[in-house]
Amino acid sequence: MAYLRKCYFKFYLIVFLILPASLLGEASNYNMPIGVTEVSKEIFDLHMLILWICVWIGVVVFGIMFWSLWKYRKSKGAVAADFDDHFWLEIGWTVVATLILVVIAIPSTKVMVTAYDDAEGEINIMVTGHQWKWHYKYLEDGISFFSNLSTDQEQINNQIPKGEFYLREVDEPLVIPINTRIRFLITGNDVIHSWWVPDFAVKQDAVPGFINTAWTNVPETGIYRGACTELCGIKHAFMPVVVRAVEQAEYDAWVAEKIVLAEQEKMLTSKEWTKAELVERGESFYLTNCVACHQVNGKGIPPVFPTLDGSQIVLNDTQRQIEILMEGVQGSAMAAFGSQYSEVDIAAVITYTRQAWSNGKNGDSAIVTPQDIVAYKNRTEL
């Protein structure tokens, strides 16, 4: 008996103390994150309010139901009454239900008006969803870059152990200063994506051809992780959002550095590139941006993603390959990368694919230089 009582005690402890406490816990694995912004905290409170209202309605309604089932069970000899209507009871519970809804609607409307404020931000960032990566462009400073998943394919394929931030890490996170009103202008490049950072309670669809807005003002430094939440194709689960919120001074330094890097990048186009340099740069570009579809071995996943290894175009048709890289292939996942990447990157990756795998010995193994891409651009723009 004593043992049973102990078990009961443990049970009550779990149900009434530990469970609710952990439900309210900061980094909970089973409740909505409280987040760090004013809006996310208000939304969390709203969520808990409605949750508790639902729980109490549930306790009352299910309580009456199970009590009736128990009390009026036939096996105990219950005899059925014969009533089948009660006008005022029907009116009564309709009114009560309506009142509860009004109680919920008022705070919801208030939070909604705050969350949906689309006034200009101190910093305005254009967020563009691509299959399958995010592109960020700082409208004031002109900085722009892609943010790719940085988890190894081997981790995904279970060949090596998974890291702490498996599928929640990127090569280059979005950087924002704290205590600053940031406005996001969100759009899509190909299909609809959705940009979500739970800790900011910002989730906005990235619709191609339309620009949505969202805003945040983050009071604490830290790394905030989110995800794409609108089905956008094969790699939908593999385009996380990572935001690094930093002090203003650190942010300014980061901006200055990015501007210098961008200048250097521009200089590279006019530089004389050797084959080895192009192949090296092309390989790292390929491994970041192309492997998702065309695979490390260049074999692709036919028929959806064509093979590059042994492809007639990659072997012997430089012009066509440049054209595909620049303009994309209509109706396929191959986007027009010409507008997304530098001439150097496009040239490098073409050169790389023409040397890699069996292509180097079977084809013309031609070198494409950044100048060739510039020439292509000049030709097509005429």
Partner 1 sequence: MSTVVETHDHGHHGPAKGLTRWLFTTNHKDIGTLYLWFSCLMLFIGGSMAMVIRAELFQPGLQIVQPEFFNQMTTNHGLIMVFGVIMPAFVGLANWMIPMQIGAPDMALPRLNNLSFWLLPMAFGILLSTLFMPEGGPNFGWTFYAPLSTTYAPSTVNFFIFSVHIMGISSILGSINIITTIFNMRAPGMTLMKMPLFVWSWLITAYLLIAVMPVLAGVVTMMLMDINFGTSFFNAGGGGDPVLFQHVFWFFGHPEVYIMILPAFGIASHIIETFSRKPIFGYTSMVYAMSSIAILSFVVWAHHMFTVGMPLAGELFFMYSTMLIAIPTGVKVFNWIATMYKGSISFETPMLFAIAFVALFTIGGFSGLMLAIVPADFQYHDTYFVVAHFHYVLVPGSLFGIIAGVYYWLPKWTGNMYDETLGQLHFWLTFVSVNLTFFPMHFVGLAGMPRRYPDYALQFADFNMIISVGSFLFGISQLLLVFIVIKSIRAGKKAKPEVWEGSGKLGLEWTLESPAPYHTFTVQPEVK
Residues within window 307-366 making contact with partner 1, judged by CB under 8 A? 331-333
Q: Which residue shows structure tokens 């950072």?
A: 197
Looking at the Cβ atoms of 153 and 342, the one nearer to partner 1 is 153
CB of 299 to partner 1, least distance (A): 14
- Smallest gap, in angstroms, from Cβ of residue 248 to partner 1? 27
Q: Please list every residue from 3 through 32 that binds partner 1, using CB under 8 A.
A: 28-32
What is the closest distance, in whole angstroms, from the C-beta atom of residue 152 to partner 1 in the complex? 11
Nearest to 149 by CA among 184, 173, 175: 173
Residues in region 65-124 near partner 1 by CB under 8 A: 65, 68-69, 72-75, 78-86, 89-90, 93-94, 97-98, 101, 104-105, 108-109, 111-113, 115-116
Contacts of 37 (CB under 8 A, 6+ apart): 199, 200, 201, 216, 217, 218, 219
Q: Give, for 103, the enclosing helix (H) or strand (E).
A: helix 87-115
Partners of 186 in the β-ladder: 127, 212
Whose Cβ is closer to partner 1: residue 223's or residue 333's? 333
Residue closer to partner 1 (CB basis): 226 or 363: 226
Q: How far is the CB of 176 from partner 1 (least distance, A)?
A: 19
Instruction: Give the angle subtended at the CA of 232 by the CAs of 228 and 233, to the nearest 5°.
Output: 125
Q: Are strands 241-246 and 174-177 parallel, antiparallel or unpaired?
A: parallel
| Dihedral sign from CA coordinates of 178, 184, 190, 193 | positive
Q: Beta-carbon neighbour count of residue 62 at 10 Å? A: 10
With contacts defined by CB under 8 A, name the span among 49-57, 135-143, 263-271, 272-280 that binds partner 1: 49-57
Using CA atoms, how far apart are residues 322 and 382, in angstroms rounded to an integer?
17
Q: Which of residues 183-242 bind partner 1 (CB under 8 A)?
A: 190-192, 194, 196, 198, 201-205, 207-210, 212-213, 226-238
C-beta closer to partner 1: residue 65 or 256? 65
